[in-house]
Structure 1
């Protein structure tokens, strides 16, 4: 049982990338703490399994880089959640190629930005009006320590996560004082299915940069996000929360 049982009673959330990894862990915790959750993910099979395991109220199989699909999913999920969306957690993301800039495939670069930046923008853009209308909302955009410090041979991912940080800081300032709070989280590398997209040498490099000497755990970042997405996070906005094992320097 969660230490914060009931924290999300009466609240509803949309979690992108919700079928696995960090998104699924966050969604499971919100449900365990009394909330209702809609899971969005590209993987329809994984969505079905996650819905049953978590007890999600709704699932939507979609590509977040498709604006029309995002807008349709917002309408469907809001209806399934009782007509309101209190929380948005944008966890969907990809790493792209792991090569030097001069060798970086253009199609991989564009796809990383389509998912990590444009897709995240579409989700925020579609849901902010609902939150403003009800005078309450919590937005958590999942960035990365790579967006602050950069990882060699991961230029697209690093640049995309820097864009997420800048976007969230701008959005949080726009919404300040309107009942809607927007923050980003910048985890260091943690155990997740996304690591399968990377060569072992890249994972070893990222581990070597963490002063605590280990990768993070999904539940550590999920716990932070669930604070950020709750009523308890009431004064900090347009900011970043680190779960980096001491790696970040600002």
Structure 2
């Protein structure tokens, strides 16, 4: 077995119980996010869109969605999801035109949210991502290869840069970065996407190291294998192998993760396919052994 395959297998089996769809323990209907606000980037489709609906079902008071494309229908869906879930108070929903690669656009979003929500934000979900057709390095489009870094890395940097001050003014102080199990893999032709997701996971460690003493928690997250529009740019044989999960799994997990501060996970990598109850049961071991971080090892 290659090192890449061994790493992927180790992450897959770290928690014995895994899921491909949502489950009772993380159900948003069991959560109470009243009084809490969340900003989700890349919210127009896929995991981002479903996550906004999960936060509505969980009773979040403020739900901000950002994307380059139209979000008008999502605003209505968010309010309807809260109502259908039995939430008595309609959430305040703000939709923003957002390009995470533009510093001006991200700064404007932060200013708008600060004005609307009293200078603070509880949860930031850096969900916007980019994946181009895979190609060997010598055959890759320079533009699209670097565009992957512009969205996946620069976008996370800019959103963290401008929203950390708002997060620090809140109670939950949670910054979640969407990474991928690809961060620990080396799949030929996937150099742009997988290396950018590795960089995202390392950014989570830096945010944790720099702001933990102020109460901020940050972690990177594998959202499972979801057949989104973005994921269909992968080769067909890879899609058939890895795109086996339902979008409700990452969406509900993200709502569960935002329900409370979890400093013991600060800077760590989380797989949404893991059973979250079992993950919590191992928190002492995870902290003591400093597990789920990215390190070079020379041990056999």
Normalising by structure 1, report the TM-score.
Answer: 0.87
Is structure 2 residue 267 aligned with structure 1 residue 243? no
Detail structure 1 runs of 4+ shifted over 4 Å in the superposition.
Answer: none
1:17 is matched with which residue? 42
Question: Could you tell me how far 1:200 is from its partner in structure 2?
Answer: 2.1
Per the alignment, in what secondary structure is the counterpart of residue 193 of structure 1? coil
> Contact 2:249 / 2:273 at 8 angstroms: preserved in 1?
no
Partner in structure 2 of residue 60 of structure 1 = 96
Which residue of 44, 60, 69 maps to 1:43?
69
1:149-228 to structure 2, matched below 5 A, reads 149-204=185-240, 206-207=241-242, 215-228=244-257
Q: Is the Cα–Cα contact under 8 Å of residues 114 and 166 in structure 2 kept in the other structure? A: no
- Name which structure has the greater RCO, CA cutoff 8 Å, separation 6+: 2
More deviation in 229-238 or 56-65?
Answer: 229-238
* Equivalent residues of 1:14, 1:87 under 8 A apart: yes
Considering only aligned residues, what root-mean-square deviation do their CA atoms show, in Å?
2.1
Give the Cα–Cα distance (whole angstroms) in 2 for the partners of residues 191 and 104 of structure 1. Answer: 23
Give the Å deviation of 1:194.
1.6
Shift of 1:136: 4.4
Instruction: Pick from 10, 33, 39 the counterpart of residue 8 of structure 1.
Output: 33
Aligned CA distance change for structure 1 residues 174 and 135 (closer, same or farther; 3 Å): farther
1:189-232 deviations in Å (ceiling 9; x for gaps): 2222222333423313x42xxxxxx6111111122222222215
Residue among 24, 27, 49 paired with 2:52: 27
- Correspondence for 1:91 among 109, 120, 127: 127
Asked whether the equivalents of residues 173 and 261 of structure 2 are also in contact (C-alpha less than 8 Å), the reply is no
Q: Distance in 1 between matches of 2:270 and 2:250?
A: 10
Tell me the TM-score normalized by structure 2.
0.73
> Structure 1 regions of 5+ residues with no counterpart?
208-213
In terms of mean alpha carbon deviation, does 192-201 or 70-79 score higher?
192-201
Distance in 2 separating the partners of 1:122 and 1:178 = 20
Task: Report SS of the residue matched to 2:130.
Answer: coil
Partner-residue secondary structure (3-state), 1:51: helix
Work out the CA distance in 2 between the residues paired with 1:117 and 1:85. 21
SS in 2 for 1:88: strand
**Counterpart contact for 2:66–2:96, Cα < 8 Å:** yes
1:210 aligned partner: none
Alpha-carbon deviations, 1:126-170, whole Å to 9, x = none? Answer: 011122244641111000001111332211000110000000011
Name the count of aligned residue pairs: 237
Q: Which structure would you say has the larger Rg?
A: 2
The answer (yes or no) to whether the contact 2:232–2:239 under 8 Å persists in 1 is no
**In 2 relative to 1, CA 83–129 (structure 1 residues): closer, same or farther, beyond 3 Å?**
closer
SS across alignment from 1:140: strand
Distance in 1 between residues matched to 2:170 and 2:257, nearest whole Å: 19
Using a 3 Å threshold, how does the CA distance of structure 1 residues 166 and 146 change in structure 2: closer, same or farther? same
